[in-house]
Structure 1
Amino acid sequence: MTTQVTNQITTHIATLETLLQQWRPSFGQDYLAYRNHVYRIINHCIVYAEKNDIALSHDTLEIIAIAAAFHDIGIWLDNTFDYLQPSAQRANNYLVREGKADWVETVTSMINEHHKVTAFSSDKKDLVEMFRQADWIDVSMGMLSFQTPRANIRKIRKIFPYEGFHKRLIQLTLVHSLKAPLNPLPMFKW
């Protein structure tokens, strides 16, 4: 995995770029919005690790990148707003194909728990909770910071702007709410 860092912000991960390019036709106009969302999550994970004295090995960074790439992908590749299971399944299939089946459990937990409203607790707490907080920081546009310095959030957002990501989430939520008014946010967990 080739990684490029600019001003302490990770700006290019080869594995991630390969995956995103494969899916680019399915994203349509949402490509840049999703790409930037994924990189913001990765960088928020890095900040979390630094803040909590967690060493990120090459493999751990790749696990985060793969989970980030796949975490919402079911929206676009499976055309569903109930996307956790399809996204996790696609990640699992990819990991098995790539000879990284030993990462399946961790990546699956990261994807399945990233919209958990309360803190995640288990033996895999660090990675799953790190990923959960990173996604919440981004989805909330920094309103939830989990004690991440606002300067870090702004610095990451400056390099990877929103590009309409949140507007698109609102559109998707409204469309899904009309179809399933009793379950408007099927991905949320308590």
Structure 2
Amino acid sequence: MIEPIVSDPAVERYLPQIADAVGTDFAAYRNHIYRVLSYAVHFLGDDPRGREHIAFALVFHDVGMWTDHELAYLEPSEAVAERVRAQHAPHLDAALIANIIHWHHKLFAFAGPDAKIVNAARKADWIDASLGIVRHGVARKQVAAIEEAIPVLGFPEVLMRLAKDLRHGNWVAGLWRVLSRVYKI
């Protein structure tokens, strides 16, 4: 069974860095982070280095949508993460953080450095972002248990609203921008 993670020292330490930017979407985004972290730790196993890097990266992985008002948010999210990492967490591997963020929507396995860590985060985000349609071997019952412990709080609707708002009311154009600029093969 996957243990829901509802609090993590790294997440709680860095969440305040983005709270103002995320605004009223904060609770939905926070819960998304914790659901993804729960799945990622399941895939990662007992790897404290990997967990700390994933927890840090997850705080920032989607934040470019809010900070830069940009649907092609990977690079802006990486930039925010790097600014905070350099100032507050220089012990973390900058390249690993960037890879976790940059490749978290990759369709197929990442094959670069620290692939196990990057892929744990990637598979975990796919489970949550797809509402459990893509499960990477996780049982539907386990997804339901994680969502019960860490409620979704309308996060998919937040993403659809942002896609519409950031493309001036045209959610189709927003969705196309995300599909063409964020998702990777």
Fold match (TM-score > 0.5): yes
1:70-81 alignment runs, 5 A limit: 70-81=60-71
Displacement of 1:48 = 1.4
Ranges in structure 2 where 5+ consecutive residues have no aligned partner = none
What corresponds to 1:88 in structure 2?
Answer: 78
Contact 1:176 1:184 in 2 (8 A): no
CA deviation profile, 1:121-155 (whole Å, cap 9, x unmatched): 12321011111111010000001001012222112
In the alignment, structure 1 residue 131 sits paired with structure 2 residue 126: no
Displacement of 1:162 = 0.8
- Structure 2 SS opposite 1:12: coil
- Measured in 2, the distance between the counterparts of 1:8 and 1:116 equals 25
Aligned partner of 2:129: which letter? V
State which of 44, 51, 55 in structure 2 corresponds to 1:61. 51
Contact 2:160 2:171 in 1 (8 A): no
What corresponds to 2:11 in structure 1?
Answer: 16
What percent identity do the matched residue pairs reach? Answer: 28
Displacement of 1:93 = 1.7
- Measured in 1, the distance between the counterparts of 2:172 and 2:81 equals 26
- Measured in 2, the distance between the counterparts of 1:88 and 1:184 equals 18
Choose between structure 1 and 2: higher strand proportion.
1
- Measured in 1, the distance between the counterparts of 2:17 and 2:85 equals 16
| Count of aligned pairs | 179
Contact 2:72 2:177 in 1 (8 A): no
Query: Closer, same or farther in 2 for the Cα pair 1:99/1:23, shift >3 Å?
Result: closer
Aligned partner of 2:184: which letter? K
What corresponds to 1:3 in structure 2?
Answer: none
CA deviation profile, 1:34-79 (whole Å, cap 9, x unmatched): 0000000100101212xxxx4322x322111101101001111222
Contact 1:10 1:43 in 2 (8 A): yes
In the alignment, structure 1 residue 47 sits paired with structure 2 residue 37: no
- Measured in 2, the distance between the counterparts of 1:106 and 1:125 equals 9
What corresponds to 2:136 in structure 1?
Answer: 146
Contact 1:24 1:31 in 2 (8 A): yes
Displacement of 1:180 = 8.9
- Measured in 2, the distance between the counterparts of 1:22 and 1:108 equals 17
CA RMSD of aligned residues (A): 2.2
Query: Closer, same or farther in 2 for the Cα pair 1:84/1:145, shift >3 Å?
Result: same
Contact 1:38 1:69 in 2 (8 A): yes
Query: Closer, same or farther in 2 for the Cα pair 1:99/1:181, shift >3 Å?
Result: closer
Ranges in structure 1 where 5+ consecutive residues have no aligned partner = 1-6
Displacement of 1:176 = 4.4
- Structure 1 SS opposite 2:18: helix
